[in-house]
Structure formats: C-alpha cells, structure tokens
Amino acid sequence: MLQEIARLCDKDTLAAIFTCLELETDGYGRGLVVQSLLKLVKKGDAHAIALASDLLTHKESAVRLAACGILRSIADYDRYRDTIEARLRHENADVRKDLTLEVGHIARKGDRSIIEILSAQLQDDDVRVRTSTVDVLGRVAEIGDKHIIVAAIDCLKDEDYNVRWSAVDVLENIATKETIDQQVIDAMMTCAHDENYNVSFRARCFLGQV
C-alpha cells in the first residue's frame, strides 16, 4: 500500500509519512496519519478514492473513521454511497456499525437505495448494528414514510431495549397524524408496559400526544 501512496506525495512528504507510520503504534494516531495523507489529493481523484475505500474495513476504528472523513471530501455522493453499501455486510460487526453510522452522516433524505440495504440490517446479530441502523433509518426517512414506520414497529419487539428505545424515537419523529393508525397505537400500547422504564416512558409520552 505504501508504494501506492508514493504516487500521491512528493519525496519529502512521503518520507515524513513513512516515519509517522513506522513510529505510530496507536490506532487513533494512525488514523490521523492516514487522514493527513489523503487530504493531499484533489476531489475526485480515483486513485485516492480507491486507497481510502480499502481502509473502510481496516481493523482499527480510528483508521476507518479517518477514511470516511476523507471520502466525504473527495468522492461524489453516489460513488461514496455505493462504496459504503458494498461493505455494510462485512463480517466484522465493528465495521458494520461504523459504516452504518457513516451512512447517517452522508445519506440524503428518502434515498431508497440506502433505506433498502439498511432495512436488511435490522436482523443483524449484533445489537450495536441494529441500534445504529434504526437510528440512521430515522434520519434518512422522509416524514410519514410508511415503510420505515412499519419497520420501526417491528423493532419494538426486539429483545434489546436500546433497539426498542430507538424505534420509539423514530416513530415520534416521522409518524404523522395521517400515518398513526391502529397498528402504531397498538404497538405503542404494548411498549407503554415495557420492562425498561425509558422505553415505557417514551411510549406513554407518544400516546399522550396522539
């Protein structure tokens, strides 16, 4: 990879980066090195985009997040979205979680491609991925999006209270008077008796405003 980096930098810059990479043992520090490196390239540089894309699944979270920041700056929306989508099913749950949260930063409201692939993650084995997915779906969804409302209702049955809490939050934010039907009310009535106080409190607040 460092040979590839050489094409992006002059000799002095490359030497400095080599030194940083050789001396830095902390994952966060390495992420800063990668970020500094890729900031040297111009927007739309295909070679730099490919390098940063490869780092999206790096074992260190700091490096992954640094790569995300760079791609936000140098890649156009469609290419970056497709790049992340292709890696959202990575075997590493930490990678899936980080990239799901990144989708929340870059996705456009109502992007059906993003919504469809995120919806599939609601069955993920890792609760952090499921919780992050519900949160991001709530941000991406248009107000009154029936598809997301139904998905959030299903998430109210999740075994983990974090997922259920996030699902209540989504319904509070996107459900409208026209989309709050008996299915929504029944689901919230059940949540009003949730074993987790925060979930039950939010559900009761929702019902009190209907």
Domain count, the chain: 2
Residue 59 sits in the same domain as residue 150:
no
pLDDT score of 171: 94
Residue 7 sits in the same domain as residue 43:
yes
CA–CA distance from 55 to each of 36, 71, 203, 207 (Å)? 14, 10, 40, 45
Within the chain, where are the H helices?
2-6, 11-23, 27-38, 46-54, 61-74, 77-85, 93-106, 112-120, 127-140, 146-155, 161-174, 182-191, 197-209
Residue 18 sits in the same domain as residue 70:
yes
Q: Report the C-alpha gap between 107 and 125 in whole angstroms.
A: 24
Half-sphere exposure of 70 (CA within 13 A, CB side): 30
pLDDT score of 12: 64
Tokens of 137: 């779906």
pLDDT score of 179: 86
Query: Which amino acid type is present at position 42?
Result: K
Half-sphere exposure of 203 (CA within 13 A, CB side): 24
Residue 90, domain member (yes or no): no
pLDDT score of 55: 84
| CATH number of the domain bearing residue 129 | 1.25.10.10
Residue 192 sits in the same domain as residue 121:
yes
pLDDT score of 184: 92
Residue 87, domain member (yes or no): no
Range of the domain at 188: 101-210
Q: Report the C-alpha gap between 168 and 156 in whole angstroms.
A: 7
Q: How buried is residue 96: exposed, middle or buried, by Cβ count under 10 Å (0-12/13-18/19+)?
A: buried
pLDDT score of 4: 54
| Whether pTM exceeds 0.85 | no
Q: Report the C-alpha gap between 164 and 160 in whole angstroms.
A: 7
Per-residue pLDDT of the chain (210 residues; tens, 9 = 90+): 544 554 555 556 645 654 565 466 677 777 777 777 666 777 887 877 887 888 899 888 887 888 888 889 889 999 999 999 999 999 999 999 999 999 999 999 999 989 998 998 999 999 999 999 999 999 999 999 999 999 999 999 999 999 999 999 999 999 988 888 899 999 999 999 999 999 999 999 999 987
